[in-house]
Amino acid sequence: MIAENLELINARIAAACEQAGRPRDSVRLIAVSKTKPAEMVAEAYAAGQRLFGENHAQELTAKKPVLPEDIEWHFIGNLQRNKVKYVVGAAALIHSVNSAALAKEIDRVAGNRGLTQDVLAEINVGGEESKQGADADEARSLVEAVAALPHLRLRGLMTVAPPADDPETVRPIFRRLREMLAEYAPLTREPELFDQLSMGMTGDFEAAIEEGATYVRIGTAIFGAREYPAPAPQPPENAP
Ligand SMILES: *Cc1c(COP(=O)(O)O)cnc(C)c1O
């Protein structure tokens, strides 16, 4: 099941690349395995998938040691500052740097460990509909703040588009992120390395590829729908 899903997604990525006149190897697929057991990651790995995305530090910490070492882990979720120590060095790329304070903490931990951590700045291009990421008007100052930190390597930008039935409605968001990448490159220390765009999920990845995505983050179409935590237990009916 997972192998077939991956085959189908890879074919759709290839078709979108062709449609956009881009080489297939200019887009990398991150299989988003959050909430799914390590067994399912192993199944995707057996089918050839090597990049996986997680959004909770604890889940990354639990899965990484029980799975093959050549998996490239990507951290894509909202990262609390007290969890940074679990993610620095464990993730090849942290996609979700959404504040200067978080960037500073990642820089501090990376520096203590003698590492340089690759990161993306997460931008809320869509405005109010989506809550994650720096607002578009704060994006430039976030990029400047991250670029100034010695133990971070700023590789590009990431966005999560609001859910949309028709991916055409979010295409302008992807286009805008690509424009921001070009606008902000001169602000970075190594502009030639500031070339990654993480955008596109199950519902909208083809439009994202057509607009320049270099990473697409796909969960549902590979692993199936996620079950959300069960609702909190209710008190017994005749409780006071
Ligand atoms: C869960 C998640 C995804 C994957 O979403 P799907 O719609 O299941 O493909 C991608 N990016 C981020 C940041 C996520 O949290």
For residue 239, the CA-to-ligand 1 centroid distance in Å is 40
**Of the listed ranges 60-64, 120-124, 127-131, 166-170, the one predicted with least confidence:** 127-131
Evaluate whether 127 touches 135 at the Cβ level (below 8 Å): yes
pTM confidence score: 0.93
| Shortest-distance atom of ligand 1 to CA 30 | 10
User: CA 192: distance to chain centroid?
Assistant: 21
Ligand 1 within 6 A of CB of 76: yes
Kindly indicate the confidence band of residue 236, based on its pLDDT and cuts at 50, 70 and 90: low
Q: State the DSSP string of 155-176.
A: EEEE--PPP-SSGGGTHHHHHH
16 has a pLDDT exceeding 80:
yes
Give the model's pLDDT for residue 76. 98
Ligand 1 within 6 A of CB of 124: no
For residue 101, the CA-to-ligand 1 centroid distance in Å is 24
For residue 5, the CA-to-ligand 1 centroid distance in Å is 16
Give the model's pLDDT for residue 238. 54
Give the percent of the chain with pLDDT over 70. Answer: 93
Query: Which residue lies with its CA nearest to atom 10 of ligand 1?
Result: 217
Ligand 1 within 6 A of CB of 32: yes
The top-level CATH class assigned to 2-223 is alpha beta
Give the model's pLDDT for residue 227. 82
| Shortest-distance atom of ligand 1 to CA 160 | 13
For residue 151, the CA-to-ligand 1 centroid distance in Å is 27
Cβ-based neighbour number of residue 125 at 10 Å:
26
For residue 171, the CA-to-ligand 1 centroid distance in Å is 17
Over residues 175-217, the pLDDT tens digits come to 999 999 999 999 999 999 999 999 999 999 999 999 999 999 9
User: CA 99: distance to chain centroid?
Assistant: 16
**Of the listed ranges 28-32, 61-65, 126-130, 227-231, the one predicted with least confidence:** 227-231
Ligand 1 within 6 A of CB of 55: yes
How many CA atoms, within 13 angstroms, populate the side-chain half-sphere of residue 82? 0
Cβ-based neighbour number of residue 42 at 10 Å:
16
Ligand 1 within 6 A of CB of 216: no
Ligand 1 within 6 A of CB of 217: yes
Give the model's pLDDT for residue 235. 52
